[in-house]
Structure 1
Amino acid sequence: MSLSLAAAHALTTIGQVLTDLPDPDPLAPPGFGAVTTLVAWAKWVGLIAAILALIAVAVMFMFNARRGEGGEHVKTLVSILVGVMIIGAATALVGFISGS
């Protein structure tokens, strides 16, 4: 038997063993409701801060556009939008882990 056939057979056997492993649904431990509430509050505060930051960047765009310097705050805008994506991803991850 060649080396490549032996490797293919080994990978097939490992794959069959791994597919037989159980995959239970996530279940939150008792008393995890307080953590969910804290995450919800943190999400709310984070998104409010992001909205205020977007308004501040818009005001900076407005004032700097009158002086001909409007494009310098694009990096700030992108940073805020990345922060919003991280906030959304973090709460989705906690929701997945807690099973809600």
Structure 2
Amino acid sequence: MSWILSTAEHTTVLAQLNNFTPDAPPGTERLTTLVRWLMWFVLLSGVSAIIFAGGRFAWEKWHGGMLESPKMVVGALIGGVVATSAGSIMSAIIGI
């Protein structure tokens, strides 16, 4: 906790600021487990997408087709960064 002392002309105000931290409500263990499983699935999907895009990149290069797989790799990487940093992003937005 921190204290702020403010003086305005002849008035003194003493205020106490609380630094609250969120607590999970009772019974949220199953929801937390579900979120962890979803995060695992998102990570598995991202790794699979990068592996698929790498194989497609080799296929397009071998057959001389139009190269669209680099877009897939970049999309998978950006999606992975957003998915793995979701907690940090929400903490920054909410201001915890």
Distance 2:49 2:57 in 1: 12
Residue 42 of structure 2 corresponds to residue 55 of structure 1: no
Determine the structure 2 residue equivalent to 1:8: none
Determine the structure 1 residue equivalent to 2:40: 44
Percent of residue pairs bearing the same amino acid type? 31
Determine the structure 2 residue equivalent to 1:22: 18
Runs of 4+ in 1 over 4 A off after TM superposition: 91-95
> TM-score normalised to the size of structure 1?
0.65
Which fold has the larger relative contact order, with Cα–Cα distance below 8 Å and residues 6 or more apart in sequence? 1
Write out per-residue CA displacement over residues 33-65 of structure 1, whole angstroms, 9 at most, x where no aligned residue.
Answer: 111101100011111111111111010111111
Residue 68 of structure 2 corresponds to residue 88 of structure 1: no
Structure 2 residue runs of 5 or longer lacking an equivalent are 1-7
Structure 1 residue runs of 5 or longer lacking an equivalent are 1-12
Query: Which structure: greater helix fraction?
Result: 1
Shift of residue 67 of structure 1? 2.9
1:54–1:80 contact (8 Å) kept in structure 2: yes
Distance 1:80 1:33 in 2: 30
1:62–1:70 contact (8 Å) kept in structure 2: no
Shift of residue 90 of structure 1? 2.2
> TM-score normalised to the size of structure 2?
0.67
Q: Alignment RMSD, CA only?
A: 3.0
Give secondary structure in 2 for the equivalent of 1:31.
coil
1:53–1:80 contact (8 Å) kept in structure 2: yes
Distance 2:31 2:89 in 1: 13
Instruction: Give the paired residue count.
Output: 81
